[in-house]
Amino acid sequence: MLTLPIHDLPTRNASGFLLRYVLPRSLPPQLVGPTDRKFLFSTLTIGDIIIGVGHGAPSVFCGHNDQVILDVYSIPDVRGKVVILISCETAQVLGPELIKAGAASYLGFQKDLTWIVDADLASTPWGDNLAAPVMMPIVDCVNGVLDGKTTEEAFAILIDQFSRNSEVEEDELIRACLNFNKKNALLLGNPEARLRARPKIQLPLPPPPIIAPIFKI
Amino acid sequence: MPNQAWEKLKEALKKPPTTEARKEAAEAFKEYERTKKAAGRPSSRPTLVSLGYKKPYPTAVPLEKIADELQRNPAFFEHFREVVEEEG
């Protein structure tokens, strides 16, 4: 399960990187844009992984247009699944509740996931060099899980890349974002959890530009 | 030069978010942006974003508006301080 809202600048940027580098390797259902709805999310429980981009708070995770699609009161069947929420603050309450509900591993952030984007590249976010220092470690972490690495190994990829990017980053604000996100990244559950490895599929060309309007900036 | 301006910004953000402190931080951020541009750092329309839900501050703030937001919004001041103090 992959959920990729694209209704505003932060969701579009993060979803754009996953569209480019993760979506070709993930199995359906893939809820992109307006299809990223609570009804579909709650009923489609097949698969061994949930990868979600969206706005979040300690106990909720949102889909397209900030519709709450996952909260502590309505957790779908997550038994044995690896859950990765590319969102804010869900590691505080929702992450532990997902583990209590039987998820094998949860990976997310305790505070705001924050980074710098180039708003001029909203339709082609995968080419955003301001966002890449933060987004590519997340992409590589997700792909680590899809490669069949343990969640602990994939989490180490995230932390190592945040650190390495921070060491070479010249822009102070981007460096601060990298360190802030690194400090707030959290892995819960079984660190030895791993999925069946997916084939390494990479699109030879970038996806077509995202032309849907941005409603909020 | 951007480093000096950055350090000044960090110092300004350490204060409690009073009106004066927020104004001082806003001025410090403007100075940081000026020195960055003078140093020729590439920029197009850089925007600070986050994936928070129902936050008391916007989830997308263009860098050119950060000074205004720092001055106007104590919650954003606190959030920005938390991020900036991690710079190292």
Query: φ, ψ for residue A2 (rounded to 5)?
Result: -130, 125
Q: What is the model's pLDDT at position A99?
A: 97
Q: What is the model's pLDDT at position A201?
A: 78
Is pLDDT above 70 for A191? yes
pLDDT for A97-148, tens place per residue?
Answer: 999 999 999 999 999 999 999 999 999 999 999 999 999 999 999 999 999 9
The token duo for B27 is: 């001025």
Model confidence at B40, pLDDT cuts 50, 70, 90, reads: low
Q: What is the model's pLDDT at position A217?
A: 46
Tell me the β-bridge partners of A138. none
Model confidence at B72, pLDDT cuts 50, 70, 90, reads: very high
Is pLDDT above 90 for A176? yes
B88 and A170 in contact by Cβ < 8 A?
no
Count Cβ neighbours within 10 Å for each residue of A181-204 and write b for 16 or more, e otherwise: bbebbbbbbbbebbbeebeeeeee
Q: Which chain A residue lies closest to B36 (C-alpha atoms)? A: A171
Closest CA to A84 of A58, A110, A109, A106: A106
Q: What is the rounded CA–CA span in Å between residue A36 and residue A87?
A: 15
B46 and A115 in contact by Cβ < 8 A?
no
Q: What is the rounded CA–CA span in Å between residue A203 and residue A20?
A: 7
Q: What is the rounded CA–CA span in Å between residue A29 and residue A23?
A: 10
Q: Does B48 touch chain A (CB under 8 A)?
A: yes
A113 and B51 in contact by Cβ < 8 A?
yes
pTM summary value: 0.92
Residues in chain A within 8 Å Cβ distance of B41: 170-171
As a whole number, mean pLDDT of residues A30-45 equals 72
Average per-residue pLDDT for chain B: 91
pLDDT for A55-74, tens place per residue?
Answer: 999 999 999 899 999 999 98
Å between A4 CA and nearest CA of chain B: 13
Q: Which residue has the tokens 């106990």?
A: A59
Å between B74 CA and nearest CA of chain A: 16
Give the ipTM of the model, two decimals please: 0.92
Q: What is the rounded CA–CA span in Å between residue B41 and residue A126?
A: 21
B83 and A114 in contact by Cβ < 8 A?
yes
Q: What is the model's pLDDT at position A194?
A: 95
